[in-house]
Structure 1
Amino acid sequence: MEKTFAEAMDFRHACKIFDETKKVSDEDMKFILEAGRKSPSSFGMEAWKFLVITNEELKAKLRPACWDQVQITSCSHLVIVLAGIEGVKPESGIPEKRFSRREMPKEKLDFYLGLYAGHLKNTLSSDENIFAWTAKQTAFAAGNMMIAAAIKGIDSCPVEGFDKEKVEEILGLDTKKYQLSLVLPFGYRINEQSKQQREKFEDIVEFIK
């Protein structure tokens, strides 16, 4: 039975140990990945890619590079969230393709491309700056995937504890095109969740009228 959004928010937590005997169905995994694919991105560039790993040998190989965290191998599906690098550069031709989806006149397309290149001049000046920009956006996709999973009663755990270069090396990534942003395991909890700890609403939210 699917959960409401509010129920999913209460259900979701950073699952540390998954039940290795339970596997997420292909249908549910597609639901989760679609939530990531349809997430918002700056200028609509969709500068990300999701690698879905179920190969147990590869998961075992990645675990030491992820601070030996058990959820890397105990999860059902290990999603590697990559941040795009080359595809956001104007010279790649991909930004033009993204803008062209809006079916606008050539002069308007040129205007948007000029605005894009000008506004992001500093951001696009190095791969390091690009990664800082695109990796930040992958948080939108990751957050939506985790909530989509929770709606289905599926657990997740966002992992930033890893040796970035080592994981990229193991995966054989062309880091000129994509770089590692986040490791995101999905599966089913083996233990009951402890009560979610959050600060009070009035301490976090301030209304300015």
Structure 2
Amino acid sequence: MTTQEERRQQIIDRYHFRHATKAFDPEKKIPKEDVDVIFEVARLSPSSFGMEPWQFVVVENEKVKQLIKDHSWGAKAKVSDASHFVLILARTHEDVRFDSTYLKEHYLHHLHYPRDVVEHMKDVIENFQKHDFALFDDMRYLDDWSMKQTYIPLANMMSVAAELGIDSCPIEGFNRETFDQLLRDVGVYGESFTLSVMVAFGYRKEAPKPKQRRDLNDVVTWV
């Protein structure tokens, strides 16, 4: 039986295993059962006010892969060689603002909140967006806030992938405005979404260098 101390060490070992994989083995594919776990973890991830302002697009179409390869400096080899290549989309400000149709339908019909609770949440979110975080000073702030939420499932997906012995690489190497136009033009998504980040999953082609980070005492402060 695994002791608690052994379990702690296993967790640390998996985070040493996880790294931003630069080259994937194109011959190795992730079993469907493991892929399902990765996406279920994404689905179960938390978001501010339970908004779930995201969509996960698995790219399989070769024309879309070529488009990504041609226009993303960060994804050129990864989109072709990784077992699974994922676009993580964030809902734009029209959908995440406190009075949006999306939020009302989300809370009523998907989370099944009572109407009085939804009305109360609308007031709470309005105060938060307008005053606590001043997100209404510029609609770009609301877009950025929505995109921040997507990094929670991104981190969870990469963490559970490492638990399963699967490699990953998050990718921000693209022009967001350009990609939104290109991917909307080919029907990958509509105006309600913007591309937040990409992530590739698969198996490393070669062993990485040992992980290097700042000392724990440099990044953790107790007050």
- TM-score, normalising length from structure 1? 0.88
Aligned partner letter, 1:25: P
Tell me, yes or no, if the aligned pair for 2:68 and 2:76 is still in contact at 8 Å: no
Per-residue CA shift, 1:42-71, capped at 9, x if unaligned? 111010110001233421221121116321
C-alpha spacing 1:174/1:32, structure 2 compared with 1 (3 Å): closer
Aligned partner letter, 2:124: L
Q: 2:212 is paired with a residue of what secondary structure?
A: coil
The number of residues matched between the two structures is 205
Aligned partner letter, 1:147: S
Return 5+ residue gaps in structure 2 as ranges.
Answer: 1-8
Does residue 1:35 correspond to 2:41, yes or no? yes
Instruction: Tell me the residue number matched to 1:51.
Output: 57
Aligned partner letter, 1:154: I
C-alpha spacing 1:52/1:117, structure 2 compared with 1 (3 Å): same
Aligned partner letter, 1:56: E
Q: 2:158 is paired with a residue of what secondary structure?
A: helix
* Distance across 1 between alignment mates of 2:105 and 2:99: 11
Quick one: which of 151, 160, 164 aligns to 2:176? 164
Tell me, yes or no, if the aligned pair for 2:99 and 2:122 is still in contact at 8 Å: no
Quick one: which of 85, 99, 119 aligns to 1:78? 85
Instruction: Tell me the residue number matched to 2:6.
Output: none
Quick one: which of 116, 120, 123 aligns to 1:111? 120
Aligned partner letter, 2:84: H
* Distance across 2 between alignment mates of 1:27 and 1:79: 17
C-alpha spacing 1:45/1:156, structure 2 compared with 1 (3 Å): same
- TM-score, normalising length from structure 2? 0.83
Tell me, yes or no, if the aligned pair for 1:79 and 1:183 is still in contact at 8 Å: yes
Q: 2:39 is paired with a residue of what secondary structure?
A: helix
Aligned partner letter, 2:154: A
Work out the percentage of aligned pairs sharing the same amino acid.
Answer: 33
* Distance across 2 between alignment mates of 1:18 and 1:69: 12
How far the C-alpha of 1:132 sits from its partner, in A, is 0.7
